[in-house]
């Protein structure tokens, strides 16, 4: 069965109170009981369960909650962690030992070292500690594999682990290639349950992976999610994040190398497309203008592969990328036909199944009218595109640095209402040079 943290909570940052003069690591156990008493009660339940993975998931959830808090002049995780170490060490017993061992397993290095030192002091006083507690933090890698959809929009990267003398379990991360490799969801489950599920999915592409490479992708995806402001990810990514971060950083992992194409390589790919049978009916100059933008989208904003196209990539291209960022020299009405031709060209190069190509082409049909509408009304233009469009409408050449700076100074002096008419998505504050 899949394991999930027990309770949902809103993922948000709180206000920033000051921690000055409130060192929880120096408080007495009685002073800390109001804050950490509930953790102690939960520890009793975990002790009763006898499950090392439950203990790591539980503590990961607690640590991730601290990370949502912001304190002035203090690392919130270390601030609350020192208090919990102090409390657990003072209380002692099996529950105190469990808290310290679990914290050592999932916390950041500085806090983990504090928990380890406290654990060493508590352990002699708990001679009858259950043996499974010693398994916490010691899951060993077994194997790795991934299952992907036909378009490879999402890769379900699966890491299989095992505790000593315990059933295997998996950490699965859904890596969204359309978000540059962000982990948009994570799951913990019994290994055989998940493998059976993917085995029944006939369209899934299942392949074994080198464990270190797979783990590096998962860790990179979790870290990217943590840095993202508005990634459409499930909050379980942040809640299980401390467990994943701590477990995988103990391994020797390779660096993630993102695909990169030089300007010459991009030119060569566009030229090959323009010379292809798929582009034979297109105006070469207009198609080249659009093709370069398609390559830029995939290389600079998605996963780096300009030949991986899907209905979702089509939607991003037509309904987000072009309206927000692209100013074309060629007529926008010709863009959908170039996208269709590029999708056919990419499908041939990738040997994509015919039915998947048909679904991708159908997506161009689906989003064509929306694309033409938002390109004409400018309602989704980004700030930079809106500014340049406004400059051009008033006869300013954006290449002329002096003219551009004078226009921006004039623009900033206009009333807010006028600025929003000129640039509907424009900022209320000044625009910088």
Question: Final residue of a domain: which of 135, 165, 195?
Answer: 135
Task: Indicate whether 267 and 372 sit together in one domain.
Answer: yes
Strand partners, 331: none
Residue 231 lies in a domain: yes
Task: Indicate whether 109 and 147 sit together in one domain.
Answer: no
Q: Give the Cα separation of 328 and 211 in Å (integer).
A: 44
At 207, phi and psi to the nearest 5? -150, 145
Cβ atoms 78, 18 nearer than 8 A: no
Task: Indicate whether 129 and 148 sit together in one domain.
Answer: no
pLDDT score of 426: 41
Q: Give the Cα separation of 202 and 205 in Å (integer).
A: 8
Task: Indicate whether 349 and 327 sit together in one domain.
Answer: yes
pLDDT score of 12: 40
pLDDT score of 17: 44
| Residue 305: partners with Cβ closer than 8 Å, 6 or more residues away | 259, 298
Residue 343 lies in a domain: yes
Q: In what order do the strands lie in the sheet with 168-176?
A: 182-190, 168-176, 154-162, 140-148, 205-209
Residue 170 lies in a domain: yes
Listed in order, strand segments (DSSP E) in 150-229 are: 154-162, 168-176, 182-190, 205-209
Task: Indicate whether 276 and 358 sit together in one domain.
Answer: yes
Distances (CA, A) of 173 to 18, 367, 377, 397, 427: 36, 30, 39, 47, 37
Residue 340 lies in a domain: yes
Domain count, the chain: 4
pLDDT score of 423: 60
> Tokens 């002692």 map to which residue?
92
| Radius of gyration of the chain from its Cα atoms, rounded to whole angstroms | 27
Task: Indicate whether 275 and 333 sit together in one domain.
Answer: yes
Question: Final residue of a domain: which of 79, 108, 135?
Answer: 135
Task: Indicate whether 356 and 415 sit together in one domain.
Answer: no
Instruction: Specify the 3-state DSSP secondary structure of 315.
Output: helix
Dihedral of CA 73/77/78/79: which sign?
positive
At 188, phi and psi to the nearest 5? -120, 130
Task: Indicate whether 227 and 332 sit together in one domain.
Answer: no
Q: Nearest Cα to 184, choosing from 224, 127, 144, 213?
A: 224
Residue 127 lies in a domain: yes
Q: Which domain holds residue 45?
A: 24-135
Task: Indicate whether 299 and 368 sit together in one domain.
Answer: yes
pLDDT tens for each residue of the chain, 433 residues long: 445 444 444 444 444 444 444 666 667 777 777 888 999 999 999 999 999 999 999 999 999 988 878 777 778 888 888 999 998 999 999 999 999 999 999 999 999 999 999 999 999 988 888 999 999 999 999 999 998 888 999 999 999 999 987 788 999 999 999 988 999 999 888 777 665 555 555 567 889 999 999 999 999 999 988 887 777 778 888 899 999 999 999 899 998 888 889 999 999 999 999 999 999 999 999 999 999 999 999 999 899 999 999 999 999 999 988 888 777 777 889 999 999 999 999 999 999 999 999 999 999 999 999 999 988 776 666 566 666 666 666 676 666 777 777 767 777 777 777 666 666 544 444 344 4
pLDDT score of 22: 61
Task: Indicate whether 282 and 359 sit together in one domain.
Answer: yes
Classify residue 3 as left (phi > 0), alpha (psi -120 to 50) or beta: beta
Q: Give the Cα separation of 282 and 279 in Å (integer).
A: 5
Strand bridging mode 205-209 / 182-190: unpaired
Q: Give the Cα separation of 140 and 160 in Å (integer).
A: 9
pLDDT score of 205: 83
Helices (H) and strands (E) in the chain, counts: 17, 5
Distances (CA, A) of 18 to 15, 73, 76, 79, 366: 10, 7, 10, 11, 53
pTM above 0.85, yes or no: no
Tokens describing residue 24: 């929880």
Task: Indicate whether 346 and 367 sit together in one domain.
Answer: yes
Contacts 24+ apart (CB under 8 A), 291-299: 291/338, 291/342, 292/266, 293/321, 293/322, 293/326, 293/328, 294/338, 294/339, 294/342, 295/261, 295/266, 295/269, 295/270, 296/266, 297/321, 299/259, 299/260, 299/261, 299/266
Task: Indicate whether 230 and 182 sit together in one domain.
Answer: yes
Distances (CA, A) of 270 to 15, 284, 294, 316, 351: 50, 11, 9, 20, 18
Cβ atoms 79, 159 nearer than 8 A: no
| Residue 401: partners with Cβ closer than 8 Å, 6 or more residues away | none
Question: Final residue of a domain: which of 104, 135, 166?
Answer: 135
Biggest CA-to-CA distance, the chain: 83
Residue 430 lies in a domain: no
Tokens describing residue 378: 């400018």
Residue 288 lies in a domain: yes
Residue 239 lies in a domain: yes
Tokens describing residue 164: 């000593």
Cβ atoms 343, 362 nearer than 8 A: no
DSSP conformation letters of 355-424: HHHHHHHHHHHHHHHHHHHHHHH-TT--HHHHHHHHHHHTT--TT-HHHHHHHHHHHHHS-HHHHHHHST
């Amino acid at each position: 069965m899949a394991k999930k943290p027990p309770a949902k909570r809103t993922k948000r940052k709180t206000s920033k109170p000051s921690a000055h003069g409130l060192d929880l690591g120096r408080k007495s156990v009685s002073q800390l009981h109001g804050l950490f008493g509930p953790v102690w009660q939960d520890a009793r339940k975990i002790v009763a369960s006898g499950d090392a993975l439950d203990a790591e998931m539980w503590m990961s959830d607690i640590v991730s909650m601290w990370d949502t808090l912001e304190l002035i002049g203090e690392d919130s995780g270390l601030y609350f962690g020192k208090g919990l170490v102090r409390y657990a060490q003072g209380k002692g017993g099996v529950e105190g030992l469990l808290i310290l061992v679990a914290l050592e397993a999932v916390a950041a290095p500085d806090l983990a070292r504090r928990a380890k030192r406290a654990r060493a002091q508590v352990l002699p006083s708990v001679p009858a500690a259950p043996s499974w507690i010693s398994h916490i933090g010691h899951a060993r890698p077994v194997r790795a594999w991934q299952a992907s959809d036909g378009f490879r929009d999402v890769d379900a990267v699966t890491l299989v682990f095992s505790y000593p003398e315990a059933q295997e379990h998996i950490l699965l991360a859904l890596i969204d290639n359309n978000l540059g490799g962000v982990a948009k969801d994570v799951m913990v489950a019994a290994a055989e349950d998940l493998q059976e599920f993917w085995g029944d999915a006939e369209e899934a592409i299942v392949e074994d992976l080198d464990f270190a490479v797979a783990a590096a992708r998962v860790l990179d995806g979790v870290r990217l999610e943590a840095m993202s402001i508005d990634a459409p990810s499930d909050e379980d990514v942040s809640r299980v994040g401390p467990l994943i971060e701590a477990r995988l950083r103990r391994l020797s992992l390779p660096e993630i190398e993102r695909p990169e194409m030089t300007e010459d390589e991009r030119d060569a790919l566009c030229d090959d497309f323009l010379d292809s049978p798929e582009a034979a009916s297109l105006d070469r100059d207009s198609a080249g203008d659009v093709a370069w933008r398609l390559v830029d989208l995939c290389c600079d904003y998605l996963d780096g592969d300009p030949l991986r196209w899907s209905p979702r990539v089509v939607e991003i291209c037509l309904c987000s990328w072009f309206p927000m960022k692209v100013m074309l020299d060629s007529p926008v009405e010709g863009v959908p036909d170039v996208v269709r031709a590029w999708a056919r060209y990419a499908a041939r190069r990738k040997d994509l199944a015919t039915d998947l190509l048909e679904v991708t082409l159908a997506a161009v049909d689906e989003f064509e009218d929306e694309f033409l509408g938002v390109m004409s009304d400018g309602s989704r233009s980004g700030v930079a595109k809106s500014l340049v469009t406004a400059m051009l409408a008033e006869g300013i050449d954006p290449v002329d640095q002096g003219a551009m700076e004078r226009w921006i100074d004039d623009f900033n002096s206009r009333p807010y209402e006028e600025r929003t008419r000129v640039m509907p998505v424009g900022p209320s504050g000044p625009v910088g040079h």
